[in-house]
């Protein structure tokens, strides 16, 4: 009989005080009923450093041609963690198509072994492996107003001092760039797979109402190998 994985008690990381204040304020009008207490409990469960860099400080590498804004398949994939928002998957965000739509360096690779909750599909069998010194960059996608959050699954071996560095880089229609960086600390949560918190991305929408988003994962601190799977974007606005 197959064993069903139990959701971890807390998401893998939380935000800094300034990022919490900004995100909680922006989410207040669209948070599902009863979710505030769950979010507040989760915010204190782990450690994450978030920094908004100034316009022009980052650089979206735009791996591959940008995926245009369009109607996307959405689902409440994080519902069992108290998150009723609808999400769409990033291009090959479950890594079931191997390295398609991802630029991998330094030994990063797609390997056997899926996050155990199977939110992307019961038949999924793969995830992204990021060893020490490796990087992974997503294909760039167009996002619009309300598509301002990412969420994913990560797994760590609880190596003290190890960090998974997550960057959300945006580029406006006029070429301006900005980014938000998140440090997932290896000793801040139970070992194994867990969903992250909702991670905000910068806003350079301007008059066009759209911007390009690129995600980048890398390691820092003590040498360790991280696993990433099921990368999603929250599309509060549908087309």
Question: 216-227: per-residue pLDDT in tens?
Answer: 999 999 999 999
Question: Per-residue pLDDT for 26 more than 50?
Answer: no
SS3 content of the chain, % helix, strand, coil (to 5): 10, 40, 50
Give the whole-angstrom CA distance, residue 77 versus residue 54.
Answer: 32
- Angle, alpha carbons 81-153-239 (nearest 5°): 75
pLDDT of residue 98: 97
pLDDT of residue 31: 43
Give the whole-angstrom CA distance, residue 94 versus residue 152.
Answer: 10
Question: Per-residue pLDDT for 171 more than 50?
Answer: yes
CATH architecture of 17-234: Sandwich (2.60)
Secondary structure of residue 79 in the 3-state scheme = helix
- How many percent of the chain have pLDDT more than 90? 55
Model confidence at 130, in pLDDT bands (50, 70, 90)?
very high
Domain edges within the chain: 17-234
Model confidence at 156, in pLDDT bands (50, 70, 90)?
confident
Q: Helices 17-27 & 35-43, crossing angle to 10 degrees?
A: 170
Give the whole-angstrom CA distance, residue 143 versus residue 119.
Answer: 22
Q: Is the pTM of this model over 0.95?
A: no
Question: Per-residue pLDDT for 43 more than 80?
Answer: no
Secondary structure of residue 120 in the 3-state scheme = coil
Question: 48-61: per-residue pLDDT in tens?
Answer: 444 444 444 344 45
Rg of the Cα trace of the chain?
17
Model confidence at 118, in pLDDT bands (50, 70, 90)?
very high
Give the whole-angstrom CA distance, residue 34 versus residue 40.
Answer: 11
Question: Can you read off the two tokens belonging to residue 120?
Answer: 């992307």
At residue 190, what are phi and psi to the nearest 5 degrees? -60, 150
Cα 198 to the chain's mean position, in Å? 8
Give the whole-angstrom CA distance, residue 143 versus residue 147.
Answer: 6
């Amino acid at each position: 009989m197959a064993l069903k994985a139990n959701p971890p008690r807390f998401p893998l990381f939380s935000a800094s005080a300034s990022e919490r204040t900004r995100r909680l304020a922006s989410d207040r009008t669209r948070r599902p009923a009863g979710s505030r207490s769950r979010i507040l409990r989760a915010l204190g469960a782990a450690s994450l450093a978030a920094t908004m860099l100034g316009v022009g400080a980052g650089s979206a590498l735009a791996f591959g041609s940008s995926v245009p804004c369009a109607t996307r398949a959405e689902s409440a994939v994080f519902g069992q963690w108290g998150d009723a928002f609808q999400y769409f998957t990033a291009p090959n965000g479950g890594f079931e198509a191997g390295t398609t739509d991802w630029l991998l360096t330094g030994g990063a690779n797609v390997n056997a072994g899926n996050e155990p909750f199977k939110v992307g599909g019961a038949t999924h069998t793969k995830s992204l492996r990021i060893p020490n010194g490796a990087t992974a960059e997503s294909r760039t996608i167009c996002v619009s107003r309300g598509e301002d959050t990412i969420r994913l699954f990560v797994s760590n071996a609880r190596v003290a001092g190890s960090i998974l560095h997550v960057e959300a880089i945006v580029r406006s229609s006029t070429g301006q760039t900005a980014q938000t960086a998140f440090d997932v600390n290896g000793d801040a949560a139970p070992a194994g797979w867990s969903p992250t918190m909702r991670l905000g991305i910068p806003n350079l929408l301007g008059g066009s109402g759209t911007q390009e988003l690129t995600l980048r994962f890398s390691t820092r601190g003590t040498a360790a190998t991280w696993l990433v799977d099921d990368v999603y974007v929250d599309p509060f606005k549908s087309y």
